[in-house]
Amino acid sequence: MQKKKGPSRFETVALHGGYDVEQKTMSTAVPLYRTTSYNFRSSQHAQDLFALKEGGFIYTRLGSPTQQVLEERMSLLEGGAAALALASGTNAIFYTIINICSHGDEIASSVNLYGGTYSMFSDIIKQFDINVNFFNPAEPGSLERALSPRTRLVYAETIGNPTLDFADLEALASTARAHGLPFVVDSTFTPPCLLRPIGHGADIVIHSLTKWIGGHGTAIGGIVIDAGTFDWKDPKFSLYNDPDTGYHGLRFARDLGEFNRIAFIMRMRLVPLRNLGGCISPDNSWIFLQGIETLSLRMERHCSNALAVARYLKDHPKVSWVRYPGLAGDPGHDVAARYLKNGFGGMVVFGVRGGADEGKRFIEGLDLFSHLANVGDAKSLAIHPASTTHSQLSPDEQSRAGLAPDLVRLSIGIEHIDDIIADIDQSLRGI
């Protein structure tokens, strides 16, 4: 239940948004509802809920009061109209694709992607006869060449994983808009205290809640935020204009009345989520709400620490190259600086002189850093993507995505910066 007279500044919304003091218990903290199902007041109440004539809770696969606060809070923080929390960030991406595309459709996607997303686009969605055309956002005209009459969406990550190239969101949004296509942005590497893509033309924003928003490596989840700006009435979006047999001929773009504006999220909840079941647990929803409360404070430290690490590595004799959007002279700095006013994120990537083998030795020599497959934890993390998170890509695909064999990925935590740099230094001295 959202407060009618709510706060407007980010840090305050992160603590209070989407929740009013629960009327029955007067609980200050958001309650955790551990139940699979919710009682109906009457047979008519049950019928009205299932017929979409009344809002409410039915079964936790579709949503819970704890999840609802998470969704409303994230929607407020992103400047969206509605949101849907899901089982993982990957699940959020997949449901977004199948909530727009059907048999024979295509998507245009930036080539700079997390390895799992790249595999989903290049291999898995082909099973549904949905094809992808990759473009390089750094090349003018590349997106235009990736479009076809069957394209149904444009997709990009704000900061590409793991090369850290920054996408010119407004340029991509302008091209998508000119072709009547929704612009979908994965903003996981840029939480809303750093960037709100909707303000730069995004129609749909995706986060892996597992990362900085949760912030402590304790839960898996994802979320999709609908800006409420895209008009789905164009007949080429058949899923929104053809009668849905699962809802007695309902046309999602035309028959939802006051909810037509959020037809995308409504359909995602009522079709993919309801029938495929990639739901988030109430416990994980609650965990992410705790993370959101300190998000802006943590990101200040993540960003300042990452910039200090990038500057240290840039001048180190055993380092051959460094990428960080906040570094003056970085290939993506000028574009990133136009969008990021509160910090450039917590990721740094670099190459060790001596190549991939020396990079692996560097990782194994770290003490403070954890060697694992995650980013966005309060603790500092390290990994060699070419042999792990992006190992399913062929060497040629890795090259096209800009992933060098010697690339080491650091997720910089919120420990004291002197301890972080000391650990990096001792490991570099050991190779």
Residue finishing a domain among 254, 271, 291:
291
Residue 6 covered by a domain: no
DSSP letter for 244, please: B
Nearest to 291, CA basis, from 193, 363, 368, 371: 193
Residue 390 lies in a domain: yes
Residue 134 within a domain = yes
Q: Which residues of 399-412 are buried (b: 16+ CB within 10 A; e: fewer)?
A: eebbbbbbbbbbbb
pLDDT (mean) for 355-361: 86
* Predicted confidence (pLDDT) per residue in 177-216, tens digit: 999 999 999 999 999 999 999 999 999 999 999 999 999 9
Residues 198, 309, single domain; the answer is no
pLDDT score, position 393: 67
Give the C-alpha separation, 48 to 333, whole Å: 53
Q: Is residue 3 part of a domain?
A: no
The pLDDT of 103-124, averaged and rounded, is: 94
Q: Report if residue 22 sits inside a domain.
A: yes
Residue 20 and residue 54 in one domain? yes
CATH number at residue 368: 3.90.1150.10
Tens digits of residue pLDDT in 150-188: 999 999 999 998 889 999 999 999 999 999 999 999 999
CA 296 and chain centroid, separation: 17
Overall residue count recorded for the chain in this entry? 431
Angle at 135 between CA 131 and CA 140, to 5 degrees: 150
Domain identity same for 283 and 344: no
Is residue 133 located within the same domain as residue 271? yes
pLDDT digits 0-9 by tens, 252-284: 999 999 899 999 999 999 999 999 999 999 999
Residues 169 and 253 in one domain: yes
Confidence of residue 7 (pLDDT cuts 50, 70, 90): low
Asked whether residue 49 is domain-assigned, the answer is yes
Q: What is the CATH number of the domain that holds 226?
A: 3.40.640.10
pLDDT tens digits, 380-424: 999 988 777 666 767 777 666 666 778 899 999 999 999 999 999
Do 170 and 66 share a structural domain? Answer: yes
Q: Which residues pair with 208 in a beta bridge?
A: 222
- Residues 268, 315, single domain; the answer is no
Query: Over 80: is that where the pLDDT of 5 sits?
Result: no
Residues 276 and 302 in one domain: no
Total tally of structural domains belonging to the chain: 2
pLDDT, tens digit, 9 for 90 and up, residues 292-329: 999 999 999 999 999 999 999 999 999 999 999 999 99
Does the pLDDT of residue 21 top 90, yes or no?
no
Q: What percent of the chain has pLDDT over 70?
A: 96
pLDDT of residue 402: 67
- Domain end, chosen from 239, 271, 291, is at 291
Residues 360 and 268 in one domain: no
Segments forming the whole domain that contains residue 315: 296-429
Assess whether 132 and 252 both reside in one domain. Answer: yes
In a shared domain, residues 225 and 362: no
Contacts of 117 by beta carbon, 8 Å cutoff, 6+ apart: 90, 93, 157, 186
Whether 400 and 285 map to the same domain: the answer is no
**28 occurs within a structural domain:** yes
Q: What is the structure's pLDDT at 52?
A: 87
Query: Where a domain ends, among 240, 260, 291?
Result: 291
Q: Where does the pLDDT of residue 25 fall: very low under 50, low under 70, confident under 90, or very high at 90 and above?
A: confident
SS3 letters for 275-302?
A: HHCCCCCHHHHHHHHHHHHCHHHHHHHH
